[in-house]
Structure 1
Amino acid sequence: MRKFAFILTLLFVAGAAFAQTDTQQSSSSQQTQTQSQTPPPDQPKDKKKDKKKKGQDDAINAEEFSDRVTDNVMRDLKDGLEGHMERLVLSVFDDNQMDGYLQFEDQIEQFFNKYDAFRIHYRIIQNSVEGGKGIAVVEMQMEAVPRTGSAPQLRRDQQIRFELERGKKGWKIVDFRPRDFFMP
């Protein structure tokens, strides 16, 4: 009986060792597969992202105003606000063509100083071209959480009329109404 128990123990240990070796080999082959799927550093890692970015650049630099142009400008505005990136927000506005740009820049800075987080939703209602300018009517909803936590959360829901012009750096916002949408 002792021999039988000894043999069973030996088989159990051998089986466990075999299973561990098999698991290590499987893990090793998975690492090899993962490494072989990783592109070299000089190649882009995600071609879809590169195509998307290229598509956005193409839309912003498009000769003709379109829904796609408006969507890309609005997406950059949304991403800038939600990411709390003042520079990205200001990049969608044309500092040379927009009346009162410096005052608007200060207003955006105050807006970011007062509010900690933003949530933006937009829906393009209408696009048209008037005298070489792209006109977009966009319904925007914004929620902003104040930094202090004591003031109530800001909620705005308005239709905004954006005027866009194509310049050296693509389509940019040169005016919008009402201007108080981004007031702190």
Structure 2
Amino acid sequence: MRHRKQFAAWLLAAALVAAGAGLGAPSAYAQEKKKDEKKTRSEPGTRTAETREVLSRILRNFTDGFEALSPSTLKEWIDTEKFYDYPRFEEGVTVLLRSVGEMRVFTREASVEVKGDRAVMIVDAEMTLASRKNPSQTEKRRQQITFDFQRTKDGWVITEINPRSFFLP
């Protein structure tokens, strides 16, 4: 019985020593890692993987706006000041969405290139449109599209789409 108590005390002491060893100054690696984490937190989207994720989400939201047949939703993801001739693009998209009864948009990212506050995403896109007047009549479009993005104080936005004709009547 006495040996058990001594052994238990020894185990407890060993556990406390082991736990206490981790309470001292952090290793140099841990300090560097902490500095890196602070840097990336203060500059959102600086890591390429994180930026790609954000850009993918924006593209999904943009295409969801098309599927919802909601041209006003698209404005949330486009910088209307930097997007060349945005009013004409918006008008064309509105005409298209009013003529369609149902729409599905599929995209597959072919490449993403991020350089500082700018990014370019090339996607393979496919759109299936069903006419409002004749729902059984469908049209399919397939094209490779380039989306230009820019990081602003409010986050990433689309500044250009080429070719725009994919999204127009």
Q: Output the amino acid matched with 2:156.
A: W
Answering whether residue 98 of structure 2 is matched by residue 113 of structure 1, we say yes
User: Which structure 2 residues correspond to residues 57-72 of structure 1 after superposition, within 5 A?
Assistant: 62-63=45-46, 66-72=51-57
Give the alignment partner of residue 134 of structure 2, picking from 135, 145, 149: 149
C-alpha contact (below 8 Å) 2:121/2:147 kept by paired residues:
yes
Task: State the Cα distance separating 1:132 from its structure 2 match.
Answer: 3.7
Partner SS for 1:157: strand
Q: Find the aligned partners of 1:88 and 1:179 in 2 and give their Cα distance.
A: 17
Q: Output the amino acid matched with 1:62.
A: G
Task: State the Cα distance separating 1:180 from its structure 2 match.
Answer: 0.5
In structure 2, the partner of 1:135 is: 120
User: Which structure 2 residues correspond to residues 10-29 of structure 1 after superposition, within 5 A?
Assistant: none
Give the alignment partner of residue 109 of structure 2, picking from 107, 124, 137: 124
Task: State the Cα distance separating 1:182 from its structure 2 match.
Answer: 0.7
Task: State the Cα distance separating 1:165 from its structure 2 match.
Answer: 0.5
- 5+ residue gaps, structure 1, are 1-57
In structure 2, the partner of 1:85 is: 70
TM-score calculated relative to the size of structure 1: 0.61
Task: State the Cα distance separating 1:117 from its structure 2 match.
Answer: 1.1
Answering whether residue 143 of structure 2 is matched by residue 158 of structure 1, we say yes
- Provide Cα deviations, 1:53-92, integer angstroms capped at 9, x if missing partner: xxxxx9xx63456320221111101211112222222321
Q: Output the amino acid matched with 1:170.
A: G
Task: State the Cα distance separating 1:150 from its structure 2 match.
Answer: 7.3
Give aligned pairs, total. Answer: 125
Task: State the Cα distance separating 1:183 from its structure 2 match.
Answer: 1.2
Partner SS for 1:67: helix
Q: Which of structures 1 and 2 has the bigger CA Rg?
A: 1
Partner SS for 1:149: coil
Q: Find the aligned partners of 2:87 and 2:136 in 1 and give their Cα distance.
A: 27
In structure 2, the partner of 1:73 is: 58
TM-score calculated relative to the size of structure 2: 0.67
Distance 1:136 1:103, change over 3 A: same
Give the alignment partner of residue 99 of structure 1, picking from 73, 84, 102: 84
Task: State the Cα distance separating 1:130 from its structure 2 match.
Answer: 4.6
Q: Find the aligned partners of 1:130 and 1:63 in 2 and give their Cα distance.
A: 10
- Provide Cα deviations, 1:3-31, integer angstroms capped at 9, x if missing partner: xxxxxxxxxxxxxxxxxxxxxxxxxxxxx
Q: Output the amino acid matched with 2:111.
A: Q
Matched-pair identity in %: 25
